[in-house]
Amino acid sequence: MIAYKAIPQRKPDPKPQPQHRTYVRAREAAHRRARRTRAHGYALMLRIVTVVGVVLLPVMIYVLLMGNLTALNYTLARDTQLKSDLQAETTRLDDRIAQLESRERLADVANRLHLHDPTAYAIVDVPRPAVAPPANGIAFLGAFFHR
């Protein structure tokens, strides 16, 4: 009994408050239930979409990478074929240049043009190019400010 006296006792309210909460709280509870029900319906759909997305995302990444790898393989094959074609053309052109520069061919062309080795040598004096006078004035506005 001593402990009972040591604990302060709550005094009951002499006049209880009127309870207006039933109408307001009931409407609010109905709204909350409706929102929760709608959210629960969307939650199932959201879970399904999430699972499909988690499964589909790695598959789509794999397909994207394989497509990129295939495109790179086709590009490599095309470039390899182009390289071999260019090497063959270079070899063909080198052979053509060697044939055109051959001494036998050049001698034949010289005979057809009636060319012969010179018998007399001439010394030709080539004049030196004229030296331009030194520029005087401002380079950017040289046309306007010259001496």
Kindly state the percentage of the chain with pLDDT values over 70.
74
Q: 131, 121 in Cβ contact below 8 A? A: no
pLDDT of residue 53: 94
**Closest CA relative to residue 47, chosen from 58, 36, 39:** 39
pLDDT of residue 120: 85
Alpha-carbon distances of 15 from 8, 18, 19, 115, 130, rounded to whole Å: 21, 9, 12, 140, 125
For the question of whether the overall pTM of this predicted structure is more than 0.85, the answer is no
pLDDT of residue 31: 83
pLDDT of residue 119: 85
**82-93 per-position pLDDT tens digit:** 999 999 999 999
Mean local confidence (pLDDT), 20-40:
74
**45-78 per-position pLDDT tens digit:** 888 999 999 999 999 999 999 999 999 999 999 9
Q: Residue 15: phi, psi to the nearest 5?
A: -130, 110
Sorted by sequence, the CB contacts under 8 Å of residue 142 that are 6+ apart come out as 135
Could you give the CA distance from residue 71 to residue 63 in angstroms, rounded to a whole number? 12
Could you give the CA distance from residue 78 to residue 4 in angstroms, rounded to a whole number? 97
